[in-house]
């Protein structure tokens, strides 16, 4: 019984983190075209999602590196 309770609490935590993280991330993405600090909100959403998902950790690292390059004036053009 104890194992079932712990597993359910873990799943509930993951669900709450997922919902909050995606909500903040979606808000940040909307702020790209709407007024607001998208450059702050998007990494916050990714940070929350990175506590549960590996893809979010990798994307967050990429976003951090890009922000650092922008701050240093070393922005490379996209390869498109």
Please report the pLDDT score of residue 76 as a whole number: 63
Phi-psi region of 36 (alpha: psi -120 to 50; beta: other; left: phi over 0): left
- Tens of each residue's pLDDT in the chain, 80 residues: 777 877 888 899 999 999 999 999 999 999 999 999 998 999 999 999 999 999 999 999 998 888 888 888 876 656 65
Can you give the pLDDT at residue 80? 53
Task: Look up residue 78 and give its two tokens.
Answer: 């996209």
pLDDT at 69: 86
Is the Cβ–Cβ distance between 22 and 40 less than 8 Å?
no
């Amino acid at each position: 019984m104890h194992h079932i309770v712990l597993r359910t609490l873990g799943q509930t935590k993951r669900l709450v983190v997922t919902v909050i993280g995606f909500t903040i991330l979606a808000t940040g993405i909307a702020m790209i075209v709407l007024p607001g600090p998208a450059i702050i909100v998007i990494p916050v959403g990714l940070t929350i999602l990175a506590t549960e998902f590996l893809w979010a950790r990798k994307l967050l690292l990429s976003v951090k590196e890009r922000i650092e390059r922008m701050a240093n004036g070393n922005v490379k053009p996209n390869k498109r």
